[in-house]
Structure 1
Amino acid sequence: MKIKKYKAPSLQEAMKHIRQELGHDAVILNSKVVYSGGFFGLFQKKNIEVIAGVDSDVHKRSRVEPFVEKKKQIKELEHRQKDSFANSEKLSIYKEMEQIKQLVESLHKSDKKVYPTELLPFAEQLKSKGIESNARSRLMMALLEAYFVNGKKLTKEEHLDVLKNELHKMLEPISFHGITRTKKYINVIGPTGVGKTTTLAKLAAEIKIKHKKSIAFITTDTYRIAAIEQLKTYATILNAPVEVCYNANDFLKAKTKLNAYDVVFIDTAGRNFMEMQYVKDLQEIIDFKHDMETFLVFSLTSKYEDMVAIYEQFKVIPIHQFIFTKYDETSSHGAMFNLVLKTNIGCGYITDGQDVPDDIHEMNTKKFGEWVLR
């Protein structure tokens, strides 16, 4: 798309130059009143500044057709502004933002190639990461606003900063935190194959090594002998006891036996998340409401639709934060962003490897946004 800025005494004069240089297919992207000259703020000259664009490839002209109706709306706004110059500054800001909004809506209904060339890589990146369309629209809105309103060419780093800032605004209402260290019991739940046991060991190592707390383990994963042995291996390294529980009575006994420890980490069985009975079995064994912090674990190699289905099954249990594993095994990190926005539940940790305790990273709002865009 070819984009150019024009300044003229009137909109009609500006349009005359636009048609001469860009042709009748040109689209007004933005217009505002500007003042220049004068003496001590008096006798300033009023001009209209217009940013217009046209698809440089004649074979792509059909892609700007969605803008035709928008041009009519923009002209109506300009007419209203012309009749109400007492509030010209407010109207100018309103019209500017309204036009950008209309532009973004049109762009998302059209072929993605109608984006300015500089913004195409970002549109493609957001889509390839799997960020859902409504969120992409808002992020591209922020980029387009910076691109058109600032009136200058931004660097790649500046564009990324715009995206990060907008991500932060979207995530700001949601709480992000790791282990708060206000609860005695730390529990991880989730489907099979997401890496719950390894993740639990990483969390335990952090609490023991970094925060100098005494730790112990309880496992209810009696379906896989290998899982118990794996946890015992980690426990031996961390010099921590392990209690194996088959039912609610075992769980109560284990809590009593481990009462002297600062923090007790609970490992649960990974079962088919489509079976609601699995969640009911967990509720029968574990008291999730008493002095416990629960993390629901997802693998980023899973489809977003499966993540939503997993959450729907587990949401009957009080979930404090999410943990996303296997970050290093996929480039589609948008699913975790989508899920956090959908559920209003933050991400406590992201893991990106098998090394204990290194490959785990505590999240906050800003850091999570950066990991989404990596």
Structure 2
Amino acid sequence: MRIKKYEVFDMKEAMKLIKEELGPEAMILSTRKVVKNNSFGLFSRPIIEVTVGIEDDERVINAKKTGVKTTAPAAANPYANTYKPQQFKPSVPEKSESDKITEIINTLGLNKFEGLVSDIAEIKRQMMEIKSGMKDSFVVDLSQPVLEFYNILLKNGVDDDIAYKFLKKIEKRAATGLTRNQVKNLSVQLLGDLIPMEKDYFSMIKQKVLALVGPTGVGKTTTIAKIAANLSLQLKKSVALITIDNFRIGAVEQLKNYAEIVSIPLRVASSPAELEKTIYELKDYEYVFIDSMGRSQFDNEQIGDLRKFLEVSPLIKVALVLSMSCNHAELADTYDRYSKLMPEYMIFTKLDETKFFGPLINLPIKKKTPVMLLSKGQNVPDDMELPDGRKIATQVLREIPSLWSDK
């Protein structure tokens, strides 16, 4: 058997090369994900190493070298020169229409297409099998105990590429003889430092206008109330609120109740021009927050309408609010659809409604957008905290996922 290795970025590319070079009889023996040392940094794209084998018939190999057809030799006949059987022509039955068509197909060489179709079908079948079992078939080249933490990160929702490339760096240090606990502590420290975050939103938004945007039901209004209450009651800052959510029944009334409790002004802007005017009138306040209308991430037209509001002043900064109770794939899709609003920060809410905190690592790293605030309940002004990278890392490195409030 001949063995050959391919290094590719995906299995589609691998199957094409294998078919072209070795033919449909080649067998995939193993696949594994590896990272080559290069200058592209921690999150460079990994490659797939595919090992392929094919059985070689020695007669076929020799025939290819000599150009001679490989046919079995005829058995020797000692009576070949002394005996000649009577020659006769058997009666040949008349060919049917189907036989005639078959003969034409063979004559023109069209029968070769049957084999080609069969080859394509077989390749398609193999690719479907590989795709269905792709994650299970990968052999991740990480040593123990680093491989153990790779599986834990995946279980907690961390992207496999991020987990693999990060732990590949940890593996180099683990090779010096670190214990399992030392590897875990090192992972918590370095992974926590890796997550982009805005740790001091109080000074970050000073003398600016912060607009909270995001889908319906993620907790934008409650989050604004928490921030405003902390700034006004605890830090004694001057705060003003603006709402442009005049479409949802009760939205203005809800924010009005919060504003009255903490004694801060609330203004309503029903158009971009009115919002621009209101921002100018509130210029003496240290902090101004805009509560926007909830918009489905799939409604491009309404997100476009919201963008018209946010473009009226260069003072407006945008924070995208995302709920941790959503499907993890949908969180990334929501960010992409709201990206036209150019969010500079992310706020994650409802941390108390999940045990899997992978998105707190995946989205900030992949989207290069810092986490500004975390929210885990409905209590105002409580149930809110500044992001702590090491706390996030600790949560995603737990063997048994647990709620955010657990210590």
Alignment partner of 1:291 out of 306, 310, 315: 315
Q: Does 1:218 pair with 2:242?
A: yes
Asked if the contact 1:352–1:360 (Cα under 8 Å) also holds between the matched residues in 2, the reply is yes
RMSD: 3.4
- In structure 2, relative to structure 1, the CA distance for the partners of 1:259 and 1:183 (3 Å cut) is closer
1: CA distance, partners of 2:193 / 2:137: 25
Aligned residue number for residue 134 of structure 1 = 161
Letter in 2 for 1:178: Y
8 Å CA contact 1:235–1:242 kept in 2: the answer is yes
* Residues 261 and 113 of structure 1: CA distance in aligned 2, closer, same or farther (over 3 Å): closer
CA contact (8 A) 1:142 1:162 kept: no
2:201 to 140, 165, 178: 178
Counterpart of 2:305 (choices 268, 276, 281) is 281
1:154 to 164, 180, 184: 180
Between the two proteins, what is the percent identity of the paired residues? 28
Change (3 A) 1:154 1:261: same
Q: What per-residue deviation string (whole Å, max 9, x for no partner) do you get for residues 64-94 of structure 1?
A: x8699x9xxxxxxxxxxxxxxxxxxxxxxxx
Please say if residues 142 and 166 of structure 1, whose CA atoms lie closer than 8 Å, have aligned partners that are also in contact.
no
Give the secondary structure class of the aligned counterpart of 1:125.
helix
1:322 paired residue number: 346
1:102-117 matches, cutoff 5 A: 110=138, 116=144
- Counterpart of 2:98 in structure 1 is none
CA distance in 2, matches of 1:336, 1:190: 16
Tell whether 2:256 aligns with 1:232.
yes
Is the Cα contact below 8 Å between 1:294 and 1:319 reproduced in 2? yes
TM-score norm. by structure 2 comes to 0.59
In 2, Cα distance between the equivalents of 1:108 and 1:251? Answer: 54
Aligned to 1:96: none
1:203 CA drift (Å): 1.1
Q: What TM-score results when the alignment is normalised by the length of structure 1?
A: 0.64
Residues 108 and 227 of structure 1, relative CA distance in 2, 3 Å threshold: same
CA deviation after TM superposition for structure 1 residue 343, in Å: 0.9
Is 1:199 equivalent to 2:223 in the alignment? yes
Q: Deviations over 1:295-339 (max 9, x none)?
A: 110011112322222222222223221001111110111023111
Match of 2:4 in 1: none
The AA in structure 2 aligned to 1:134 is D
Residue equivalent to 2:355: 331
Aligned length in residues = 273
- 1:285–1:140: structure 2 CA closer, same or farther, 3 Å change rule? closer
Letter in 1 for 2:360: M
Evaluate the alpha carbon distance shift between residue 105 and residue 332 of structure 1 in structure 2; reply closer, same or farther with a 3 A threshold: farther
Return 5+ residue gaps in structure 2 as ranges.
1-28, 35-45, 52-134, 399-407
- AA aligned to 1:165 is Q
Mapped contact 2:193–2:389 kept (Cα < 8 A): no
1:344 aligns with 2:368: yes
Contact 2:357 2:392 in 1 (8 A): no
In structure 1, the residue corresponding to 2:321 is in which secondary structure? Answer: strand
What is the distance in 2 between the residues matched to 1:178 and 1:206? 12
State the shift of 1:183 in Å. Answer: 3.1
Q: Is the 8 A contact 1:288 1:318 kept in 2?
A: no
**d(CA) in 2 for partners of 1:215, 1:329:** 30
Alpha-carbon separation, structure 1, partners of 2:310 and 2:381: 26
**Which has the greater radius of gyration?**
2
Q: Which protein has the bigger helix share?
A: 1
Question: Is 2:390 the partner of 1:363?
Answer: no
Question: How far apart in 2 are the matches of 1:302 and 1:190?
Answer: 13
Give the superposition deviation at 1:112: 7.5
Q: Which stretch shows the higher mean deviation, 315-324 or 285-294? A: 285-294
Residue 310, structure 1, aligned to residue 337, structure 2: no
Measured in 1, the distance between the counterparts of 2:312 and 2:199 equals: 20
Q: Does structure 2 retain, via aligned residues, the 8 Å contact 1:108–1:137?
A: no
**How many Å separate the matches in 2 of 1:165 and 1:270?**
37
